[in-house]
Amino acid sequence: MCDKYHDLIAQSKVTTNDAEVSAAVEKILAEHLDENMNKEVYKLLFNTIDLTTLKGTDSPASVARFTERVNAFEEEYPELPNVAGICVYPNFAPVVRTVLDVSAVDVVCVSGAFPACQSFPEVKVAETALAVEGGADEIDIVLNLGNFLDDDYQEVCDEMIEQKHSCRDARMKVILETGALRTAENIRAASILAMNCGANFIKTSTGKEFPGASLEAAYVMCQCIKEHYEKTGEMVGFKAAGGVATTEDAVKYYTLVKEILGENWLNKDRLRLGASRLANHLLSDILEKEVKFF
């Protein structure tokens, strides 16, 4: 097939050899993981967390309580950086915006018929617009896997571009659902499409139907981000989500980002971790005692 999107992907020099990717990940971690297992890195990583509640039992009251914990953290641990964002379903954006007292913490909403991305395009666009209207600073949408796997890149991109438009000034993260894409070739293609449709971040996973984040997917995504930056000057962020639960898990992703993309990506504007369990594990390792704050 020949169109501008397939041509764009064909120009990429990022490896699509899965064995090469696995070997590269192993080499980076063997050489650099240990040096990053320290409290300064843990503090930085805590500040990249999108603290997440995406349950069927979420309610205005439960989301308000969830948000109050972030407010309370600011008071109880003033010497530590807070989380980067609070991630909720789009109908709860007004709740978080109303309750949240910490200006440095973003309101993040999943949108676009998360997690399956199965609805009318008009519904996805409307949901995103309503989330932004309700106070969302960032929108996490899902790449249309069905159209992608059908090789209909035009439809995939048209949908992302429309949702980007409905984000207005809010940042857009595109979830690739790498556990469904599976191969380095697919992950490379999806990364390139998302970035060329205006993604401010590319994100691994929803953490729902398919396997979550993997280090191999992160490696390919970061290489694509690097190539995109060298080509366009645009610094696209990376977000790992889905199963990033322990301190060591988080540091592994940090290590890949540091070695592939460099120091300019080691901050909450370029690196995010979507998590519900990670915050307490990082806090416990920072404070050297078991902490169950969130």
Of residues 239, 252, 258, 268, which has the active-site annotation? 239
Of residues 140, 249, 258, 268, which has the active-site annotation? 140
Gap between the Cα atoms of 64 and 294, Å rounded: 13
Give the pair of three-digit tokens for residue 31: 């050489």
3-state helix/strand/coil string of 145-209: HHHHHCCCHHHHHHHHHHHHHHHCCCEEEEECCHHHHCCHHHHHHHHHHHHHCCCCEEECCCCCC
Of residues 203, 252, 258, 268, which has the active-site annotation? 203
Please name the residues in contact with 132: beta carbons below 8 A apart, sequence gap of 6 or more: 93, 139, 166, 167, 168, 169, 170
Please say if 239 is a catalytic residue: yes
Gap between the Cα atoms of 183 and 42, Å rounded: 30
Task: Indicate which residues carry an active-site annotation.
Answer: 140, 203, 239
